[in-house]
Structure 1
Amino acid sequence: MRPVRAFAAGIVAILLAIPANATAVERWQPTTSDRLHIQLSGNLQVPAWATFLEIDGAESTADTVSDLHGRGLRVACYVSAGTAEAYRGDIARIPASVIGRPLDECSTSVGSTYATSLCLLR
């Protein structure tokens, strides 16, 4: 129960740090005409048709993102939160005591209407 309380306390602290008169920032949202290219490993290859990229946030530099923005592209960075991946540079900093058991489940295709209908039934 202690981790839950610590997490909740952290959220409350963040919320209290936000000024009451803070204004919302208008955010870009992709449209149906945007064309997404996802590349999470290897040398970044941007197809000519791409308008929106998802790249690995841990493996990409701020200069890379700035360059892509300068070319008129929108960029989202994938960040692995809450997982321990052996190939990540920070794996040695994660104590074995906080690494859980491997998941015994498989993901489904988000593009499958059948899988989507099953999720909606849940």
Structure 2
Amino acid sequence: MRLSALISAAALAATTLIAAPTAQAAPAVRPARAAALPAPVACAGCWRPALNTSWQWQLSSLPKKPFLNVQMYDIDGFAAKDGAIVKSLKADKPGRGVVCYLSAGTFEDWRPDAGQFPAEVLGSPLEDWEGERWLDVRKYTGKLGEIMKARLDMCKAAGFDAVEPDNVDGYANDSGFPLKAADQLAYNTWFANEAHKRGLAVGLKNDVEQIPQLLPYFDFAVNEECWEHKECTTAQNGDYGYDQFVKAGKAVFQVEYNLATSAFCARSNAANFNSLKKKYELDAYRVPCRGA
């Protein structure tokens, strides 16, 4: 449009405004706000690992005697649901914590409760993990939440002290659903609170970017390969890192698969992480960076 036409249009608009009655201004449209997170549920009687805690992470099989002289075992919850191995591990070393591993963010077709999952919550397959699919964690107020609460009840009944919910970062993956960061925060805080309601401590598995928001809800952290991916500390990331757990007095359990111990152990020890060298199958093999 030419300048003269713009001036004419402006003059016409001014005349119209003078002649016409004053119209009520339309209310401003405010952007939708994310739902506030729930208050953290306290767990005064929960077992909590010390910052420096020796441990074993063994998921592909149950530990066998003689057990390692470590202060914590993290094992598969379904494989140990009868409670026998949990009882044995605790009797072997009084004060030892035993953690119940389960997937909170994926469907696994080999689990005994697989038939309970409604089709609507099953998303994209996980790459390299046959029989496993992402879950629509937005549905935790329905059947999905009931399944997860039953799993937590299973861990509690078996005598576990804590739970390690895996795959709680679907929003950052190709899940098959339009999951957003706020959806993941809502689900993860709900899960942590449900664990605490049952007297179970709970560890944050990966989901590194949401550490600042989730730190008040979780009692310790479990990480895979943060040194390899250069995302272990706030100094590396800008505003999130596992050093925030340590600063809060909460233990960090960390594993590398590909790096040599010489490439990460010194840094882990300096950061006060409890790091191990493990194999992908998470069998009995382990090389600890410090202690037993």
Equivalent residues of 2:55, 2:70 under 8 A apart: yes
Q: SS state of the match for residue 114, structure 1?
A: coil
* Pairwise CA distance, 1:23: 8.5
One-letter code of the match for 1:39? Q
Kept after mapping to 1: 8 A contact 2:54/2:70: yes
Percentage identity across paired residues of the two chains: 25
State yes or no: 1:115 paired with 2:227.
no
Letter in 1 for 2:225: S
The question of whether the paired residues in 1 share the 8 Å contact of 2:62 and 2:79 is answered with no
Q: Does 1:64 align with 2:85?
A: yes
In structure 1, distance between residues paired with 2:106 and 2:62:
23
Q: What is the distance in 1 between the residues matched to 2:56 and 2:77?
A: 15
Code of the aligned partner of 2:92: R
| Structure 2: distance between partners of 1:23 and 1:120 | 27
Q: Which amino acid aligns with 2:97?
A: R
SS of the residue 2:108 aligns to: coil
Residue of 44, 49, 53 corresponding to 1:29: 49
Which residue of the partner structure matches residue 48 of structure 1? 68
CA distances 1:41-81 after superposition (whole Å, capped 9, x unpaired) = 22424653422100011211312111111111321111221
TM-score (norm 2): 0.30
Residues 26 and 95 of structure 1, relative CA distance in 2, 3 Å threshold: closer
Alignment root-mean-square deviation, CA: 3.6
Quote the residue 2:156 is aligned against: none
Q: How far does residue 93 in structure 1 lie from its aligned partner after superposition?
A: 1.9
AA of the residue aligned to 2:58: Q
Larger Rg: 2
Q: Which residue does the alignment assign to 1:19?
A: none
Gaps in structure 2 of 5+ consecutive residues: 1-34, 126-172, 176-206, 208-223, 242-292
SS of aligned partner of 1:75: strand
The alignment's TM-score, normalised by the length of structure 1, stands at 0.62
SS of 2:103's equivalent in the other structure is coil
Moved over 3 A (4+): 102-105, 118-122
Question: Do residues 38 (structure 1) and 57 (structure 2) align?
Answer: yes
Q: What is the number of equivalent residue pairs in this alignment?
A: 104
Q: SS of 1:54's equivalent?
A: strand
Residue 100 of structure 1, CA deviation? 1.8
Using a 3 Å threshold, how does the CA distance of structure 1 residues 24 and 76 change in structure 2: closer, same or farther?
A: same
Distance 1:23 1:49 in 2: 27
**Counterpart code for 1:41:** S
Query: Are the aligned partners of 2:55 and 2:72 in contact in 1 as well (CA < 8 Å)?
Result: yes
Cα deviation digits, residues 8-55 of structure 1 (max 9, x gap): 8xx79xx7xxxxxx99326332331x2110011224246534221000
In structure 2, what is the Cα distance between the partners aligned to 1:87 and 1:27?
30
Rounded to whole Å, the distance in 2 between the matches of 1:70 and 1:84 is 33
Q: Distance in 1 between matches of 2:72 and 2:120?
A: 38
